Structure 1
């Protein structure tokens, strides 16, 4: 997996500049670092370290290290080298400022199971109930008992409470844990695990699932649900698992749970109202205390953003109609009726209002930031939008009045040369409302040739101060040529793509180039939605080890992200049908050949 080779810490100074770098030190040379995580109070950093040594297999194991943010000094959390991470499904979380809950390899684990050459017996699968199960095609499913034993071997973890003084305490018994989430008040932990019987028909995300509430000192409080394998989820968009799902803590409460339950048995083909219900309940409810209904939805639940008892935003969507709806809910009062803030077609990206900016609370959770203006009693939130336009993305910040629905644009990205985005609020931690004139935003700024750098944007003057100066990661390709192009398919659909040409390419001297197309088909309900521009011509051309842009070093042209819209009202596209479409008809690339940029018959694709 990818890794870091070092960690540097800078303090943000009052003048919005960065102080000198304090390098984290103490770990071995050649260490590979992962899972970097700040403690809730920001005084320490936890991370994993591994050092690959050919003659020492145990060095490849992941160990937890702790660094002091003030001094940069790092040391292993545990003296024993035998306590190592099992990072298949998780790594570790901070329970409080001095304790972590860690996924570890059980001390009882020995060598991997070996496959017996003699079959244990015939494979028997029965369907006495004659249930018809239709599921999507998936590769690499479990096939036999040996696969099950391998799955258990590699995924079983022992949760361990690790204290900063180096002590370790087992938390529960070994199991296939997939998620742990401490409550905001640090008194409880929500724990999710898988268990047998496993399924040979669906991926592990649909295996039997158990969700429990524990105290942070390792005592079981109660079991929320124990769900059977989800083998019968209909092959239909917006179909979901039956039972409790999306179980989590309210970010604005000490220890209140919320979850969602489908009223259509998870089948999107069933017409029912409501379709989903959101419930809330304390971690330890009083005897006989039933879950409270927060909100009923006629579409499928997507997400909820918490603020306080007067404000939460609930999002629901429906694929067949491309509908998305945002509700304003008052969690603390049943007398205040929920109301719709936004109701739109999500395919129409030009209508996207953005999402609320969050602020970090004193308990380490993220809630919707409330903004106040001078001499104004109204409450506002900040909508952070990607800013889709026919000219490309122009990100923005809107000050949104939650009572009247009025908006005031207080910032947007530079349109000419740069692409800027609002990343996060800098100050405003805690539960107090933020004054607009004291607003500080962490922004990113990049261009076609300049790597992303971070800035602090301060109100009321909107002064921008650059705080990073990262070098270009691949200087030999720094002068690559990039252009957002617009063209029209033969059926009249306007399309967009980004054309990359190698550094130093001169069409008059070098002539046409071989070309790599990097694209994937998408379905839309209308031509208008299919033709909308997504992306910015000013974005930096970032690369990964598997990036298509690496072909620029081989003197290829690269056409990245050309639209391949499959259009049909009510059409649920089948990718097998899509693959039968002719490549040149999808792309209409004749114009590239006519412009003498592309060598005919040198198209490369992959599926």
Structure 2
């Protein structure tokens, strides 16, 4: 999980990401570095300075979880009658992950293929008919497939996909003739360094692409003699500007020239006949998108001066409109300066044009937001953001569509008299949703919803959309155009129950069309018509993996199975799962999911050793913090990434126990972080003991990223746990001085809080075993590998019990099969030695 500031909320609402229809020249570096001596050490042994070992594999029952089959990913066609199925491959090997990789301006890229770093590619592609469920194979697919991404043409005649093959250096565009079920290569030499570099033109006769231009900006010699030092300067009087701690930044002029070489691309149009037509000049393009009528291209490119302090997204930028036929610039929207810092606060934004895009229901109209308060949330202002529109041929002044009291969160487009606009304000956790009339900018907006976006029980849902004839997402409305369709999690005290509602725009009344029913967890993923009666629904239960069904409300048996994915880990089918509720000592209600091994009987087997895995979250109200999250009817998918594999090793698992940090009114949540964190952990341990399923003398706690930070703090400020597993965390908050996670204040504004929250400052109090795991090349802002190295050194120097495992070539999320297996082996050893075999002499307090 990122340590960056909270991201803007689409259409004014903060929700979990939509659940998809289905879950999901090498360098000779084949060793895992282990510090703190070999494992295990006999009692009284002197620790070694360091040891180097080969990768290890865990016991067979854990290895089987890593190698469990993965269901395919799905992409519904524009007409909603076909599904493109992509087979997700096994985890890549370390030989793949260890390929040469450049780290420049916050990007990670594969130089050989001119692509953003990616290590897992789909290995198969086929089609499925929604009506019959029949599967159709595609002839002519390349081998290996190496499918990185794909996109349907607006008319559904074609399916384009990007193929990457690092062995040959190929970065290609391929085309599937849907009717003929046949694939062919369309273009070579794509440049996907800055992300997606192809998009369909609205007439489906070709695609807009960005191509490699290796000769445009030559690479500097690898052994080039430095021309001078790297210099940075700031001027007094610029004011306080918050700069988050970013990874992979430029460090020299040489780095800047390498970035220019790989980022430079040539916009071009590629016809379905394979004809390539260059459009305009080459440049450092980071985005190109055609207008809905296909006459223009919105292009964004960066330019010098570059920065050594912030990533590419903050570099100076030119936003302009190109003629789609010639590539010549016809209008410059804005020239944005370098942004090397923002005012303090999570509601701070840069000034100037922001979040620009085409209005999807108009031929060629640009829409964007601009801060009206200098981007500074501390400044008093009635209007925070203004939303502007500018239609082709882009003459005269832009039209002001809306004035907002919060920050702009995005727009769902429908038609000239209907668009849904969202705004949000992080400080108060408020969001508002408005109906606007884009063809009548002077007309007053209609307020649809005004809610707290952390209040899951009050979430009205988000509008459903579908692609139009040009391939752009548009609001789905009823036949008379007077109603929207809203889908949401349906959070309640009984757990999530996803729903689909029809919302009357005139009266504000809702009609429930679909509601998930126990004992299943069902999600209305896609509307197959414009009435809400025919849906694609994902369905699962604790023992049945997620599969896709066609739901037809007019049929006696409304559900018809479309997929039949089998249980990926049948050996763990009979584990038990329960959503439990308990109370913290200050009255805040807490939620957790309790898993118990298959065949476990508390009266017969007694209390078990426990692994607790958590991630703290900040709230502005105790009521919101007390709300139930998740559902008791979700599938018990045992992923190698979380804590559930250790059910196979006889542990009880308490997954995602609430760790709310509440700061009501003017109070800042983090000012009482430690007290609330320990109180939440104490309540969880007490509840396990009360139920008789967990041995309070044999409990481990763990987490990843901010969960690792939590783990170290719990070991430093309590004796509730025999051991901790902290993966890829940050432990010294003075190294993230301009904010972290949701903390808005900088170190100099809240010095006592930063120091109190840093477990590094209390390393002398860590008396229980701490396992630290970190990727050597972590790219996440704030969680530099040095954080784990320094934390380990502190515990070691103070005579504590710790182990540090640095995984070669790994980022914030570990990718190689060898790394995942080694992670599980280390964690299993730690739990077996320090928790399962722990003597019952644990002290309950520091």
SS at match of 1:50: strand
Q: 3-state DSSP class of the match of 2:454? A: coil
Residue 217 of structure 2 is aligned to residue 138 of structure 1: no
Partner of 2:522: 420
Partner of 1:524: 619
**Residue correspondence of structure 1 range 109-508 to structure 2 within 5 A:** 113=220, 116=223, 119-132=226-239, 133-217=241-325, 218-286=327-395, 289-334=396-441, 336-372=443-479, 379-414=482-517, 416-427=518-529, 434=530, 436=531, 439-461=533-555, 463-507=558-602
- What TM-score, normalized by structure 2, do the two folds share? 0.64
Aligned counterparts of 2:664 and 2:283: Cα–Cα separation in 1 = 47
**Equivalent residues of 1:311, 1:330 under 8 A apart:** yes
Pair 1:50–1:134, CA change in 2 (3 A): closer
1:2 pairs with one of 117, 120, 126:
120
Taking a change above 3 Å as real, the CA distance of residues 593 and 405 of structure 1, as seen in their structure-2 partners, is: same
1:40-89 CA distances to partner (integer Å, 9 max, x unpaired)? 1111111122345xxxx4x24322211111222111113xx5x2443442
What CA distance in whole angstroms lies between the structure 2 residues aligned with 1:61 and 1:556?
46
Any residues of structure 2 matched to 1:76-87 within 5 Å, and which? 76-78=185-187, 83-87=189-193
Deviation at 1:538, TM superposition (A): 0.8
Cα distance change of structure 1 residues 117 and 158 upon mapping to structure 2, 3 Å threshold = closer
Deviation at 1:211, TM superposition (A): 1.4
Q: Which runs of 5+ in 1 are unaligned?
A: 428-433
Take 2:594 and 2:521, find their aligned partners in 1: how far apart are those partners? Answer: 18
Aligned length in residues: 580
Instruction: Work out the CA distance in 2 between the residues paired with 1:146 and 1:441.
Output: 54
The 1:89–1:30 alpha-carbon spacing in structure 2 relative to 1, beyond 3 Å, is closer
Partners of 2:481 and 2:476 lie apart in 1 by 14
Aligned match of 2:137: 23
Task: Tell me the residue number matched to 1:603.
Answer: 700
Output the CA distance in 1 between the equivalents of 2:455 and 2:430: 10
Distance 1:554 1:177 in 2: 51
**1:431 paired residue number:** none
Q: 2:156 aligns with which of 42, 62, 66?
A: 42
Maintained 8 Å contact 1:378/1:401? no
Conservation of the 8 A alpha-carbon contact between 2:625 and 2:660? yes
User: Secondary structure of 1:7's match?
Assistant: strand
SS in 2 for 1:205: helix
| Shift, 1:246, TM fit | 1.0
Deviations 1:19-51 (A, max 9, x none): x21112322333221211111111111112234
Which residue in 1 is equivalent to 2:727?
none
Question: For residues 542 and 110 of structure 1, do their structure 2 counterparts lie closer, same or farther at Cα, with a shift above 3 Å needed?
Answer: farther
Superposed displacement of residue 293, structure 1: 1.1
1:94 is the counterpart of 2:197: no
In structure 1, how many angstroms separate the alpha carbons of the residues matched to 2:391 and 2:593?
A: 51
- Measured at CA, do residues 159 and 600 of structure 1 come closer, stay the same or move farther in structure 2, by a change above 3 Å? farther
CA distance in 2, matches of 1:484, 1:345: 25
In 2, the alpha carbon distance for the partners of 1:157 and 1:275 equals 36
Q: Is the 8 A contact 1:136 1:235 kept in 2?
A: no
Partner of 2:630: 535
Contact 1:563 1:587 in 2 (8 A): no
- In structure 2, the partner of 1:430 is none
SS for the counterpart of 1:211 is strand
CA distance in 2, matches of 1:516, 1:119: 52
Contact 1:523 1:573 in 2 (8 A): no
Cα distance in 2 for partners of 1:305, 1:8 equals 31
Structure 2 stretches of 5 or more lacking a match? 1-118, 703-707, 710-846
* Distance (Å, rounded) in 2 between the aligned partners of 1:77 and 1:186: 20
- With over 3 angstroms needed to count, the CA separation of the structure-2 counterparts of 1:160 and 1:506, relative to structure 1, is farther
- Please state which structure has a larger fraction of its residues in strand: 1
C-alpha distance in 1 between matches for 2:609 and 2:526: 42
Greater shift, 475-484 or 252-261, is seen at 475-484
Cα contact 2:385–2:408 (8 A) shared by 1? yes
Q: Distance in 2 between matches of 1:121 and 1:576?
A: 45
**Does the 8 Å CA contact 2:585/2:679 hold for their aligned counterparts?**
no
| 1:225 positional shift | 1.0
Change (3 A) 1:490 1:9: same
Could you report, residue by residue, the CA deviation over 1:147-196 in whole angstroms, capped at 9, with x for unpaired residues? Answer: 32333333333333222212223233333322222111122121122222
Structure 1 equivalent of residue 778 of structure 2: none
Q: Residues of 2 paired with 1:580 and 1:176: CA distance?
A: 49
Deviation at 1:126, TM superposition (A): 2.7
**2:651 and 2:250 mapped to 1: Cα distance?**
41
Alpha-carbon distance in 1 for matches of 2:388, 2:622: 39
Q: How far does residue 12 in structure 1 lie from its aligned partner after superposition?
A: 3.0
**Cα distance change on mapping 1:441 and 1:596 into 2, 3 Å:** closer
By relative contact order (CA 8 Å, sep 6+), the higher-ranking structure is 2
- Structure 1 match to 2:210: 103
**What secondary structure is seen at the aligned counterpart in 2 of 1:66?**
strand
Counterparts of 1:159 and 1:474, CA distance in 2: 46
